[in-house]
Chain A
Amino acid sequence: MAEAKVAKPFNVRRFLIFLLIGVVLVLLIAGVISITGVWNTILLEPILNFLVLMSKYFLGSFGIAVIVLTILLRLVMFPLTMKQLQSSKAMQAIGPKMKELQKKYAKDQQKLNQEVMKLYKEEGVNPLGCAFPMLIQFPIWIALYQSVIQALAYTPENLLGLSKQLYSSAVIRGALPLNHHFLWLDLTKGDIFMAILTVASMWALQKMSVQPNADPQQQSMNRIMLWVMPLMFGLFSLSLPSGLSLYWVVSNIISMILQYRVTGWGTLTMPSLPSFLKRGALQPVDNPAAKTEGTASTGKKAVKGVAPEQSGAKADGASSEKKEAVGGDVISQRKKDSHGKRRSKRKD
């Protein structure tokens, strides 16, 4: 006999989203609207005009407007950011198992893919969980970035371009040109102190995000990543308008707060000055043994004496024993050692 079919409930929200995407695609293909036009109308112009309007009402200060808008946008995107961070944490938690599978099926790519998919299913992890929220947020960051550059209008061409993006409100148009002085900054010019703040905040964020790894090659990669991006943005901050550095610094600080809520301090530690000088500032950042020490001394996970990736695994329902059984790698062994040492110290 025919089995009774279970009808899927009709998802109105999903239907409307697909309908909207479909209509936009048809209009794009038909040439009724352009990609630039859609981008400007939906993202750039609302953010830009809001920024100009806020400059008018927040003591005429563009600096305060940048800070407020960055915070507001981060609030709007808070659910997405948290989803991304949690997915990222979950992915990191199954890292040792993944590594074991890689080792086990190094010569059989197909089997490896199958096993990985199986692992994702077992652990309830969506590999696109990190990418999707990030993809959605990315256009908003670009639009905010463009808005800051355009609103500053530090060249005549910028101001001419700005005239095309502004709404016809007399309040908005009358607000220009914006006051580009904020604290000690001329927001249209690069600033050494803002460059230092950009490097420091980006470095700290990277340190919080990076996960410990025993693989020397991976360690080396992490070290490069840890310095290349902050230094690159530091270089930009020296040359590009400091209004952008202000946006980067505020955005980084918010990201750090969110990152802390999800993963704690990560590999970011606050070593005492003597040990810092003794060890040297450019020591490998993700030496697991050193990291565990640091975490124990300062991180919020240190209360339990558990390294971040372990706590992450626990949060996802995987016990440390299970991790060791599957992974059995150097990290797990070192963690085990460090736990033992710490426990014995406490006993003493």
Chain B
Amino acid sequence: MFDSKQTKLKKTLIIAILLAALALAGCAGTRGWPATVSEGGTLYVATMDGRVLALNPDSGSRRWDWQPTAKQGGQTASFLSCGAGGSLVGGLLYGAPAIANGLVYVAFHTGMVYAIDAVSGTQKWDYDLRSTVSGGVAVDNNTVFIGSSNGNLSALDAGNGSLKWGFSAENEVWATPAVVDGVVYFGSLDHSLYALNAADGTKKWAFKTGGGIASTPLVVEGVVYVGSFDNKFYAIDADTGMQKWVFEGAGNWFWSQAAYNNGTIYAGCLDHNVYAIDAGNGTLVWPKPFDAGSLVKASPVITGGMLAVASEVGKVYGLDLKTGEKKWEFDNITAKVLSPLCAAGDTVYINSEDNKLYALNGETGRQVWGIPLTK
């Protein structure tokens, strides 16, 4: 009936532990969504534990394995914060590395940007953006483009990492930029899609949507396709920034880059659906959208004559491009899949949240190999 002193002390400790757990619960689950890119017969893979690997695409064997040698500046995590990958040497990674001029460019969530030799895996230069990065990098014409949480899009010299120019949006830039024909396109959480001259960062135009834009724009034949947090998907003239059409039939945000094939746009949506939209007029192509069962954050890709789509819960589907009919399903992944998919030849590569990389045959959905990416 009555508490002894020891019981009271125990109670106090239990309450303290519960409160600590409660306080820390808010930052649980922040792990990044690193992705893979294929270039010149090599896979360059960003991992959940903050490293970059070069792999043989046929077997998954490692050519080199790189991680920052020590914390070299950047936005460090405080001791209670798990939001910036506090335990990792380099921090978390969002998006895929970019390859150009024999170098691999990668930006960590801490704001550190690195250039690594694509053959040897040795670091060439680094640059501190002094703000967190929640997207990938784009490279074009000897310039590296990265968006950051302070609202800046920074253009770095690809050869030595020096800052060429910077452009300030009105809110955070989480989306990976896209660079086509000397113009860099990127979305911001300030609801706008920007088009800048890649050479000097001057604004060509800005297109305002009803919500934040966190997905990478897709630029095809003079049209920019991008989805927004206003549940709409837009087609915008790349030259003028004028809207060509808008698709309004979705029930949640668009947060992944769309894929294009033969006049059709394929867009994954957080409402669990994959939409096939006519690139010319914005009408639906399939009889009904494909329901993936959980949210589609990973960008879909076209491989082996199929549309490969991954849902959040780790199920991967091969869909008929014309009808949206499910041709195959791969359900051996037991972790979340949020990273953009990567297609090379007839193979689709999938980074899962348990730090594994799967290679599937795009035509059949059969697993070619699956390897852990841990050290």
Residues of A at the B interface (CB closer than 8 Å) are 98, 102, 109, 112-113, 116, 142, 145-146, 149-150, 154-161, 163-164, 168, 170, 173-174, 176-177, 190, 217-218, 221, 224-225, 228-229, 232-233, 235-236, 238-241, 244
Contacts and interface: CB of A to CB of B under 8 A. Distances in A.
Given A160-B297, A176-B229, A221 B27 contact: no
B224 interface: no
Interface centre among B12, B23, B297, B338 (most CB of A within 10 A): B23
A221 B211 contact: no
A157 B31 contact: yes
B120 to A, nearest CB: 32
A272 B255 CA distance: 59
B189 A177 contact: yes
A155 B211 CA distance: 17
A158 B30 contact: yes
A217 B7 CA distance: 13
Interface string B211-236: 11010000000000000011100000
A225 B295 contact: no
Contacts of A241: 26
Contacts of A190: 78
Given A163-B270, A244-B26, A154 B83 contact: yes
Interface string B117-156: 0000000000000000010000000000000000000000
Contact of A173 (B79, B83, B211): B211
Contact of A113 (B1, B20, B29, B212): B1
A239 B1 contact: no
Interface in B1-59: 1-2, 5, 8-9, 12, 16, 19-20, 22-23, 25-27, 29-31, 33
Given A113-B1, A190-B78, A236 B23 contact: yes
A157 B30 contact: yes
Nearest to A235: B80
Contact of A240 (B23, B33, B189, B252): B23
B212 A176 contact: yes
Q: Can you list the 6 inter-chain pairs with the closest CB atoms, starting with the nearest?
A: A149-B26, A239-B80, A239-B78, A236-B23, A155-B30, A156-B134
B361 interface: no
A32 to B, nearest CB: 18
B21 to A, nearest CB: 11
Contact of B255 (A160, A173, A229, A240): A160
A170 B22 CA distance: 31
A117 to B, nearest CB: 9
Given A163-B252, A164-B295, A173-B231, A217 B5 contact: yes
Contacts of B211: 173-174, 176
Nearest to A160: B297
A229 B80 contact: no
B71 to A, nearest CB: 17
A237 to B, nearest CB: 9
B237 to A, nearest CB: 24
Contacts of B174: 156
B81 interface: yes
A30 to B, nearest CB: 22
Interface string B292-331: 0001010000000000000000000000000000000000
B31 A173 contact: no
Given A112-B1, A163-B253, A236-B23, A174 B210 contact: yes
Contact of A232 (B16, B27, B230, B253): B16
Contacts of A159: 214
A236 B27 CA distance: 12
B251 interface: yes
A156 B19 contact: no
Nearest to A150: B26
A173 B27 contact: no
A224 B8 CA distance: 12
Contacts of B31: 157
B16 A228 contact: yes
Contact of A116 (B1, B25, B297): B1
Contacts of B9: 221
23 contacts: A98-B2, A109-B1, A112-B2, A145-B22, A146-B26, A149-B27, A155-B134, A157-B31, A159-B214, A163-B252, A168-B231, A173-B230, A177-B212, A190-B78, A218-B5, A221-B12, A228-B16, A232-B16, A232-B20, A235-B80, A240-B80, A240-B81, A244-B26
Interface in B87-125: 94
Interface centre among A159, A217, A224, A238 (most CB of B within 10 A): A159
A240 B26 contact: yes
Nearest to B23: A236
B171 interface: yes
B23 A228 contact: no
Given A158-B30, A239-B79, A174 B230 contact: yes
A142 B19 CA distance: 10
Interface in B152-184: 171-172, 174
B8 to A, nearest CB: 6
Nearest to A164: B295
Given A236-B23, A239-B81, A170 B210 contact: yes
Given A173-B230, A173-B231, A174-B230, A157 B78 contact: no
Given A113-B1, A177-B172, A229-B16, A240 B27 contact: yes
A115 to B, nearest CB: 10
A157 B295 contact: no
Given A149-B26, A177-B172, A236-B23, 13 more contacts: A98-B2, A154-B83, A156-B33, A157-B30, A160-B270, A160-B297, A163-B255, A163-B295, A176-B212, A177-B189, A217-B5, A228-B16, A239-B80
A154 B25 CA distance: 14
A161 B29 contact: yes
A173 B253 contact: yes
A224 B16 CA distance: 12
Contacts of A174: 210-211, 229-230
Nearest to B2: A102
